Amino acid sequence: MAPGLVHAGHQAGGGVGGCSGPGCLICSFLDTPVRPLGEGGRRGMSYSPGTLAPRRSSPVHIPMPRYRLSHRDAVEWLRTLPESSVDLVITDPPYESLEKHRAIGTTTRLKRSKASSNHWFRIFPNERFPELFTEVWRVLKRDSHFYLFCDPETMFVARPLAEAAGFRFWKPIVWDKQHIGMGYHYRSRYELILFFEKGRRRLSDLGVADVLPVPRIHRGYPAEKPPALSEVLIRQSSSPGDVVVDPFMGSGSVGVAAARLGRDFLGTDICDEALDISHMRLRAEGAVPEEAADAHGMRLARSG
Ligand SMILES: C[S@@+](CC[C@H](N)C(=O)[O-])C[C@H]1O[C@@H](n2cnc3c(N)ncnc32)[C@H](O)[C@@H]1O
């Protein structure tokens, strides 16, 4: 097959079996072949394999966003990225304290979801934070920002470890989910986003408040975040054409926000389904996989 074409298995909506790799635009940029999307597709989003969805019309010029996805462990994958090659990191690890909520049953509802697997994902233990933050620091350019989604309990663990890696901690930003959650004592309605800085970078808009009211995603990928939330962070801490990274990308919400704002996106996740969903959503936003972009002389930071 000629490089850059889409495999017939994909064109027909076929699965792994009909999709063998060489030359296929979709297969070749992923670590693993794409599986059929079926019910994993996002509600209300039309997905047409082999075609790029038209970009939304905008009065402002936005560069064509590019992306590359990986299936590797977050830290291992970050190690493959060149030093000082990334403009912004926004990420949402499956932190250890989620296990506790799961154990007492408050996340049972999330175990079953049309748009995701029927199993909750594996947690990323707190003891791995030092290696994660070391790599995030290394890949970020000088004068850049790092946003870490977490809960209040994890904040006390993550903050000193990120500071030990070199980051300056500014403050927690509150995501007001505008929906009261499960529990008994002051039922949960917010999550935190820790705001860190490497060097010195001015926010784009100093008038933005530290409470971001954005409705949560109902019945999405487990712990899925609304792209509108990441859009605020991306506008604040990057410019069009910059490279945004999420090493725990899940359903790719950070990538979707990056694509909407004309930033390039690099992401990884160890879950097959996360990869499929992210790929489908990025294409639907008009983002171009690196292979296709390369054919037009555009190139992202090289990595494994
Ligand atoms: C909280 S979810 C991210 C949700 C995402 N922010 C979204 O909006 O969909 C965490 C993700 O990390 C992935 N994950 C768990 N351990 C990982 C690891 N060691 N490396 C990379 N991804 C991992 C899980 O598969 C899961 O998709």
In the chain, where are the structural domains located? 29-40+60-295
- When pLDDT is averaged across residues 14-28 and rounded to a whole number, the result is 35
Pocket test of ligand 1: the residue of 124, 131, 150, 278 to mutate, having most ligand atoms within 8 Å of its CB, is 124
Contact 283, 26 (CB under 8 A): no
CA of 84 to the centre of ligand 1 (A): 23
Classify 191 as helix, strand or coil.
strand
Give the pLDDT band of residue 102 (cuts 50, 70, 90): low
The answer to whether 260 and 253 have CB atoms below 8 angstroms apart is no
Query: Pocket of ligand 1, candidates 119, 254, 266, 270: which has the most ligand atoms within 8 Å of its Cβ, to mutate?
Result: 270
Closest C-alpha among 229, 216, 224, 231 to residue 277: 224
Would you give the DSSP letter of residue 54? P
Tokens at residue 38, please? 């079926």
* pLDDT over 70 (residue 128): yes
**pLDDT number for residue 183:** 79
Pick the more confident residue, 303 or 141: 141
Give 94 Cα–ligand 1 centroid separation in angstroms.
Answer: 6
Question: In the structure encoding, which two tokens stand for residue 291, read together?
Answer: 């292979």
Nearest CA to ligand 1 atom 18: 73
Q: Whose CA is nearest to atom 7 of ligand 1?
A: 224
Supply 157's token pair: 């663990």
The answer to which of 6-10, 14-18, 69-73, 245-249 has the lowest mean pLDDT is 14-18
Residues 139, 79 contacting (CB under 8 angstroms) = no
- Averaged over 81-108, what is the pLDDT? 80
8 CA from centroid of ligand 1 (Å): 30
Domain 29-40+60-295 has CATH 3.40.50.2020: no
Ligand 1 atom at minimal distance to the Cα of residue 220? 9
Tell me if 26 sits within 8 A of 6, measured CB to CB.
Answer: yes
Query: Nearest 5°: phi and psi at 28?
Result: -70, -25
Cα gap 154→164, rounded to integer Å = 16
> 224 alpha carbon to ligand 1 midpoint, in Å?
10
CA 122 to ligand 1 center in whole angstroms: 8
Q: What is the pLDDT of residue 277?
A: 97
Q: Average model confidence (pLDDT) for the chain?
A: 78
For 117, counting Cβ atoms within 10 Å of its Cβ (0-12 exposed, 13-18 middle, 19+ buried), the class is middle
pLDDT band per the 50, 70, 90 thresholds, residue 15: very low
- pLDDT higher for 154 or 295? 154
